[in-house]
Amino acid sequence: MKNFISANDVADIDALIDKALHYKQHPYIDSQLGANRRVGLLFMNPSMRTRISTQVAARNLGMDVIVFNTDKEGWQIELEEGAIMNGSTVEHIRDAAPVLGSYFDILCVRTFPALADRNTDYNENFINALVRYSGVPVVSLESSTLHPLQSLADLVTIRETFTKPHRPKIVLAWAPHIKPIPQCVANSFAQWVNAWGKADFVISHPEGYELSEEYTCGATLEYDLDKAIQDADFVQVKNWSSYHSYGKVLTTATDRMLTLDKLRAAPNASVMHCLPVRRNVELSDEVLDSSHSIVTHQAANRVWAAQAVLSEILKANTK
């Protein structure tokens, strides 16, 4: 694996899940693999789980880790090729990326979308420029369109906890939110579940919240949430803003918040959410605090997902 930016970078998803679950049993089995190697975590946006789990994973592999809050501590970066930099930006990514590449063996970056212009966001200019100009492997800590470390942890959690003989029924359920949220987690989850190909996959959201078919193709769309979650094994809850009316909040539809009453149609369902979650807006207290919820388990698995990815990259790339 050269870079880890989407499911397309992974040759065998089940093998990567196996590796993550192996690290969960044996966290320090490769504690020398990353000796004398350094990973940089660049954050353009806030994070708790991704920031900490990736550091824990890197240290389990014996790596040195430096976190750089690029948005607050660095120079304002220009992404436009040929820009005349007479405005607020101070350093071009063409200059910053190779310098960062000279300091680190692996670069990880979080760069959220602005949700103003779809083409700009879906072009993924920041992470693509880092790949192009840094000269080292790049790992997404959540980009404008995808969150692959989250999705890998989600599939690790599903494989680990599902014990029935049939294919799991997995539902991605839109939930209300008070502000526009990127499509990254939903896009990414859809991409990974489809690429994994071992589940019956249903997506449910209000009309107008259709995601890009690049990620959802192969899933069943069911607008009616009650029908969608019928007999589900996993319900992944997440808000996202509109893709087609880009970045807009079209409804706050409070009746789409998952409740124990709704879950009577799926009595064995495990409820997932990537966190952070707005309680009693996206998900009710009664669900989050019930035995349905596996959100903490899911977040804990972020360590093993990150460790598997860093390990694959370390083994495949020498500077």
Q: Work out which of 274, 283, 303, 314 binds ligand CP, going by CB under 6 A.
A: 274
Least separation in angstroms between residue 88's CB and ligand CP is: 26
- Based on CB atoms, which residue is closest to ligand CP, 47 or 143? 47
User: What's the per-residue H, E or C state across the chain?
Assistant: CCCECCHHHCCCHHHHHHHHHHHHHCCCCCCCCCCCCEEEEEECCCCCHHHHHHHHHHHHCCCEEEEECHHHHCCCEECCCCCCCCCCCCEEHHHHHHHHHHHCCEEEEECCCCCCCHHHHHCCHHHHHHHHHHCCCEEECCCCCCCHHHHHHHHHHHHHHCCCCCCCEEEEEECCCCCCCCCHHHHHHHHHHHHHCCCEEEEECCCCCCCCHHHHCCCEECCCHHHHCCCCCEEEEECCCCCCCCCCCCCCCHHHCECCCHHHHCCCCEEECCCCCCECCCECHHHHCCCCECHHHHHHCHHHHHHHHHHHHHHHCCC
| Most distant pair of Cα atoms in the chain: their distance | 62
- Based on CB atoms, which residue is closest to ligand CP, 78 or 151? 151
Least separation in angstroms between residue 274's CB and ligand CP is: 4
- Based on CB atoms, which residue is closest to ligand CP, 39 or 266? 39
Least separation in angstroms between residue 43's CB and ligand CP is: 9
238 binds ligand CP (CB under 6 A): no
Tell me the C-alpha distance between 294 and 155, whole Å.
13
111 binds ligand CP (CB under 6 A): no
What's the gap between Cα 151 and its chain centre? 5
- Based on CB atoms, which residue is closest to ligand CP, 110 or 262? 110
- Based on CB atoms, which residue is closest to ligand CP, 47 or 183? 47
- Based on CB atoms, which residue is closest to ligand CP, 124 or 142? 142
157 binds ligand CP (CB under 6 A): no
Least separation in angstroms between residue 246's CB and ligand CP is: 22
Least separation in angstroms between residue 147's CB and ligand CP is: 6
- Based on CB atoms, which residue is closest to ligand CP, 257 or 295? 295
Least separation in angstroms between residue 47's CB and ligand CP is: 3
Sole window of 83-91, 232-240, 272-280, 287-295 interacting with ligand CP (rule: CB under 6 A): 272-280
Least separation in angstroms between residue 241's CB and ligand CP is: 16
Tell me the C-alpha distance between 101 and 38, whole Å.
10
Label residue 197 exposed, middle or buried (CB < 10 Å: 0-12, 13-18, 19+). exposed
140 binds ligand CP (CB under 6 A): no
β-pair type (200-204, 220-221) = parallel
Closest by CA to 238, choosing from 274, 271, 269, is: 274
Q: How many residues bind ligand CP (CB under 6 A)?
A: 10
169 binds ligand CP (CB under 6 A): no
Least separation in angstroms between residue 53's CB and ligand CP is: 8
- Based on CB atoms, which residue is closest to ligand CP, 101 or 182? 182
275 binds ligand CP (CB under 6 A): yes
Q: What mask, x for binding ligand CP by CB under 6 A, covers residues 40 to 79?
A: -------xxxxx----------------------------
Binding residues vs ligand CP (CB under 6 A): 47-51, 142, 150, 274-276
